[in-house]
Structures are given as C-alpha cells and as structure tokens.
A and B are shown apart, each in its own frame.
Chain A
Amino acid sequence: MSDIAYALSELIQPFTLLLLVIGAIWGIISSAIPGMSTAVGLALLLPLTFTLTPIESVVLLAATWSGMEYGGAIPAILINTPGSPASAATTLDGHALFKQGQGGKALGAALVWGLIAQFVSVIVCTILIIPLSRALLQFGPLEIFAVAIFGLTIVTSFGGSGMVKAGLSLLFGLLVATVGFDPFSGTARLTFGSFDLEEGFGIVPVLIGLFAIGELLIQASRRTNVARIDMKKVNLSAKLPSLKELNAMKKTGAIGTAIGIVVGIMPGAGGMAASYAAWNEARRWSKEPEKFGKGSMEGVVASESANNANIPGSIVPMLTFGVPGDAAAAVFMGALLIQGIRPGSELFSQNVDILWTLLFALILANPVILGLGMALIKPAIRLVSLPKAYVQAGILGLVVTGAYAAGNSGFDILIVAGMGVVGWAMLRFGFSAGAATLGLVLGELLESNLRRALTLSDGLGFFFSSPIATTMFALALLTLFAPLLGRLLPRNRRRRAAQRATTAEEIIEAQEEASEEAPARTVESDAEPKA
C-alpha cells in the first residue's frame, strides 16, 4: 500500500505533471505526421530521459504513448492517412464518416472510447500483472525462448504483407541483432573488422532509419506534394458522444477493448494488429456489417478502443518477462534500461513504485488527452498540410540529432541512413518494417535464451520438458499454419482466384463469386501471400 501512496505522491509533483502534459502534446502532434510511428515518437524522447529520474521518464513516455494512439486518428479521419500504423484501421470508416459530414462525431468517439478503453485496460492489466509476476518464477530460459518464438510467429501472421515477405523482414531484423560481440563467447560476429559495428546496431538508430527515414525517402521519390487541405473544410471540432450514443456503442467498445488487451499482451502484436482485429470482429458481431468500410461509427470505435487498450497490454509482457509486445514497448523497455531498471522479477521486488507510477500515469494521461485532443486538432492538421519539404526537413533535423544523441556517435547517423534505404525498399515493395523491428528487439533475447536452454539440456527432448514451453510452441505452430489452412477453405479459394484472374471476364466472374462471401476489406486477405 505504501508503494502505491509513494507512487502517487511522486506523480503529483508539478514538474512531473508538466511532463505528462508535454508528453501528451508531443504524442498527439507528432503522430499526425506520416512516418512518425509510435515507436519513433517514443525513441526521439530517449535522449530527454537521460536527464530525468526514472519516474519522470516513465510519466513522459506513458503520456506520449497514449497521446500517439489518439493523435494518429486525426489525420486518419480527416485526410485518410493514418498518423501511425496503429490508426490504419481507423481510416477505413473514419474518413468515410468525415466525407459524410460526421468528422467531428468520429473524432469525438475516437477520443472518448480511446479513453474508456485504456482506463479499463489499465485496471485489467493491473489485476493480471500480479499473478503473472508470480507465474514468472516458473519461467526459465526455455520458457522465455518459447514465448519469444510465439511472438515472432504472431508477427509473421499479422505481417499484413504476405508471410514470405513478413518472414524475410523478420529474419532481417534477427540478423541485424546478431551483429556485434557475441555475449556468450566474446567473438566479434559479422563486424567485418569495423570497430563501430562491434557495438552492434542500436535499436534507436535502426528504428529511426527504418520508419522515419524510410518514409522520408518514399516521400522524396514521389512528385506530388501532400494535398493542401482546405482549412475551411476542416473547420470542425470534436463532438463528444452523448450518453445515449455511448450506450449504443458499448458492445463495440467492449469488443475493441477486449481485443486490444489480448493482442497487447501477446508478445509480437501491437497497435496495428489490435485495431484491425477489433475492426474485423466488430463487423462480425455488428447488426449493420455492410456499413463497415463505408462509414460505420462502430468501425472507428472498435479500432480506436483497441489501439488504446493495447498500450497497457503491451506493457505487461515487457515488464514481467522483458519480452516487448511491439516496437513501442521495446523503446519503453529501452528507456527503463537506461535508468538501470531491468524488467522481470527485479522490477517487482525493488522498483514496484515505477510500476504503479506507470499505471497511474496511463490513467491520468487520459483526461489530459481528452482536453488537449480537442484543442490540438487544428494545429495537427496545419502541420500535416505544410509543404512536405518543410515537414520532412524538420523531421530529418530532429531524427538525425536524436540518433546522434542516443549513442554520441556519427556512425549511428550512417546506420540511420543505411536503415533508411532498407525502410524505403520495404515500403516500396510491400515488406514489413514492423516485423524487422521486432526481430531486432527480440533477437538477442531469443538467441541468448536458446543457448542458455541448450546448455542446460541433454538432447532435443528437453524442448518439450516444460508444459509452459510446449504450450507456447504449440500456439506458435498454430499461429503459423492457421492462415495456410485457411487458404484451403473454398471461399478463400474463390477469392484468390479473383486475385489471380488475368482476363477481364475472369475477373468479373470471380469477383461476382467472391462478393457473395466477403464484403469490403477483411483482414484475412492479409494472410495470403501476395508475392
């Protein structure tokens, strides 16, 4: 009890509260910029945390994260461009609603439901964390390895760009993680004689390169400027839903929240997976499924409540096992490590106040975001509609400095440039930078636990000696092969024939058959390889 009281007392300091507000503002504004994914927005704050106390860092990052999940909805609804991947599912209905003149209501719904969902999620995760931390004692290297494998298979399935491409992206990330000194034997690996590479690739320059610079390079390659937004048309403010409207949406909100929490807890799947999955499920259970994709408020509610509920969920595996749920959680973990706080049992015994502060900060950030969220819509849109030269140059200045600040090495900027080229190629050819990032983040964990487990073992039978590990492996196999099995279903066969049809008649015929089964866009089609 005293830990909780202590955490609260630290939170209610003026400077800490100021950081909360700053984080929320930064989160909302920055996530409106395409290319500024949640992980990058958080990564740019890392240099700031060097000079802050652990509690202050946690509050700043938690507020930013919450702000970013909401902020991404603003351009998603208004200009059909998600501010961050987590808001991608919000564009499906959000923009249609805007065109129907309901933009204000959509923004209001996104705001309020995000708040409700995150609040519920924090409560649920708090309740879950304590039994989980006790279960943690059962987790040895084999179990953690199994959890990491499960996380990786989820990414491959949710990759959204076909399993082959997602798999290649993931492997790339895992390979990047191997560069540098091997912690077990001390040998330098794949460094090609370079002293700089002996440190390995830091997560911050790689993240910044893959996402922010990758986006910048893609923008550079296109001739068209971002469509100038007519500010008069966008002259709207968020209209908060009435109690009656809230009540009408409660089933959708519940579905979104539940899926957000579950997907968040699963290592490897983050905001984007949560919001798409929730959108899909809400449509399945909706009384008006045909409206989804054409302007269904339920679609927006489902997507936004899921990506907000996802945050506390992502934090759970990160804090208990040190296995981050997605890239954003990985950056968060990085911030904790900078402060010398290791996730896992140490966190629960020695730094429990950090945990409570984090949970309270997430709760407290929501009303702050509610207030700011309405005020910041116009500035956010104004920022996005500047000529892209100014926006991208600004981003470049910020990220280059941030990358340098993180490691104090000019070489890191070269990594940013190199990874930028990779990120550009990934966007250009439909690969998944998210999968690569997760590979990088989980890579070291995966290998070190595997090798530790092997040291303890005597033969392959060891891999099935633990019920926890076996369950995880089984789940991993299931996740990996479920989409493949799904392809064998007749309705999917027909849909794939529609995609492969090469003459006009075949297309029309196949689409007529397919449209009997599948309205609008569905997530299942993502699982089919398009390569």
Chain B
Amino acid sequence: MWETMRELGLAVVLTAFAVFGLFASAAIKVGVAVVDPLGPARYPQLLFALFLALSLVYLIRQVIKLVRERRAPAVETAADAEIDPEASVSIARPIAVVAALVGYVLVFEIIGYVVATALLLFVVHIIFGIRKKWWLAAIVSLVAAVFLKLFFGELLLVPLPTGPWLF
C-alpha cells in the first residue's frame, strides 16, 4: 500500500509538471513573421497535453489501486514484483551524492580540477559506506583524479580548469 501511495505521489508530481509545462509553453513568444503553420509553441503544447493525459491515466490507476488495496488485505501480487523492493532503503545517500555533485560544479573552477575531483570521489566513497579504510579511499581518489587529468587533459587535450596552484 505504501508503494502505491508513493506512486500516487509521483503521479501528482507528473500531473503538476504537465500543467506547469502547458503554462510555460503558452508563454513562448510567437513572432510576427509566420515561418511555418505550426509555430514554435504548438509542438511543446501538444507534447505537454499528451503528457497531462497520460499522467492523469496514471494518477487514476493509482487511486483505483489504492482503493482496492484498502478494501482487501494486501497480498503480494505479480505486478508488485516489477518495482525493486530493495530500492527504497535510503533516500539520504542518493541526495548526498547529488549535493556533492552540485558542490563540485560550484567549486571546481575555483580550486582546480584535480583537487575538486579528488574531493568529490573521496566524498562519494564515504557516502557509499567506506569507513575503516578511509585512507585507502583518499589515496584512490587522488590517484584517480590525477589519472583522469592526465588522460583527458594531456592526452586528449581537453581544457580542464586549474586552481591557483598550477594544476
């Protein structure tokens, strides 16, 4: 039942997204010169309309399922097997990874690619649970960052930001 409620929540989010999108695409400026009969706004509007229709179907299905589950004692059905039961263990760790990535983007041009990447990888090791061997994780992160810098920066000549310390 909880799973159905989570899916219901998702369905609401998707529906809201579709409604938002319809408004956003209505705001697209249609120029005076008519280049093609459709114009820039119609196609996104059509897509959002279809999205809205499907997300409403999804929403209604979840509501029906929830009502049905409330009425009868919940028994594991074949359909539930599709969604991985293991997956909902922790939301905090994935969010931490995303936060680390955002942090990375904010600083990597300031402190340089090597330091930023080494830090990022180290943080990810910790998020994934490395505790006792943290020093190994730190070494691996640094080595990986240096290797990537050499491979992409020197071999492939991709310009990677350097920090105030020349690398």
Rank and list the top 8 A-B pairs by shortest CB-CB distance, nearest first: A389-B128, A217-B94, A182-B40, A417-B101, A405-B158, A220-B93, A502-B72, A451-B36
Contacts across chains A and B counted by CB atoms under 8 Å: 220
Cβ contact within 8 Å between A413 and B10: no
* Complex: chain A residue closest to B87, CB-CB: A428
Q: Does B117 lie within 8 Å of A451, measured CB to CB? A: no
- Separation of A171 and B137 alpha carbons in the complex (Å): 41
Q: Within 8 Å CB of A398, what residues of B?
A: 148
Q: Within the assembled complex, what's the spacing in Å between the Cα atoms of A272 and B76?
A: 28
Q: Provided the pairs A221-B90, A393-B124, A400-B120 are in contact, do residues A187 and B40 lie with their beta carbons within 8 angstroms?
A: yes
B130-A387 in contact (CB<8A): yes
Report the separation of the CA atoms of residues A454 and B117 in the bound assembly, to the nearest whole angstrom: 49
A387-441 residues at the B interface, CB under 8 angstroms = 387-390, 392-394, 396-398, 400-402, 404-405, 408, 410-411, 413-414, 416-417, 420-421, 424-425, 427-430
**Residue on A nearest B101 in the bound complex, by CB:** A417
Cβ contact within 8 Å between A167 and B109: no
A468 on interface, CB distance cutoff 8 Å: no
Query: For A161, what are the chain B residues with a Cβ–Cβ distance below 8 Å?
Result: 82
A175 contacts which of B21, B91, B108, B160 (Cβ < 8 Å)?
A: B21
Contact bitstring B33-65, A, C-beta under 8 A = 1, else 0: 101111111011001101100110110011000
Contact check, A187 vs B104: say whether CB atoms are below 8 A apart.
no
Known contacts A189-B44, A410-B105; decide if A217 and B54 are in contact (CB<8 Å).
no
| Distance between Cα atoms of A186 and B82 in the complex (Å) | 44
Instruction: Give the size range of A's interface with the partner.
Output: 35 or more
A187 to B40, CA, bound (A): 7
- Binary flags per residue of A478-511, CB closer than 8 Å to B gives 1, else 0: 0000000000000000000011111110010000
Write the chain B residue with the least CB distance to A225.
B129
Name the interface residues of A323-382: CB closer than 8 Å to any CB of B.
Answer: none
Pick the residue among B39, B40, B77, B128 that contacts A500 (CB under 8 A).
B77
* B contact residues, total (Cβ < 8 Å): 81
Q: 0/1 per residue, B100-136, Cβ < 8 Å to A?
A: 0110110011000000010011001101111000000
Task: Decide yes or no whether A178 CB sits under 8 A from chain B.
Answer: yes
Tell whether B166 is near chain A: CB-to-CB under 8 Å. Answer: no
Contact yes or no, A417 B98, CB < 8 A = yes
Please report the C-alpha to C-alpha distance between residue A412 and residue B3 in the assembled complex, in whole angstroms: 33
The A contact surface, by secondary structure, is helix
Secondary structure dominating the interface of B: helix
Residues of B within 8 A of A167 (CB): 50, 54
Report if A220-B94 is in contact (Cβ < 8 Å); known contacts: A48-B156, A390-B140, A400-B117.
yes
- Judge if A174 is at the interface, Cβ distance under 8 Å: yes
* Subset of 18 A-B contacts with CB under 8 Å: A161-B82, A171-B51, A187-B30, A221-B88, A223-B89, A223-B90, A224-B86, A389-B125, A390-B125, A390-B140, A393-B121, A393-B124, A413-B105, A430-B82, A454-B38, A500-B79, A502-B69, A531-B62
B43 (CB) vs chain A CBs: closest residue: A447
Alpha-carbon distance between A405 and B151 when the two chains are bound, in angstroms: 11
Assuming the A-B contacts A221-B94, A451-B38, are A165 and B89 also in contact, with contact meaning beta carbons closer than 8 angstroms in the complex? no
B19 interface hit (Cβ, 8 Å): no
- Residues in B whose Cβ lies below 8 Å from that of A530: 79, 82
Would you call A47 and B152 a contact (CB within 8 A)? yes
Within the complex, the shortest CB–CB distance from A191 to chain B, in Å, comes to 10
Is A8 an interface residue when CB atoms closer than 8 A count as contact?
no
Is A221 touching B10 in the complex (CB atoms < 8 A)?
no
Whether the pair B145, A393 counts as a contact (CB closer than 8 A) is no
> Which chain A residue shows the least CB distance to B144?
A397
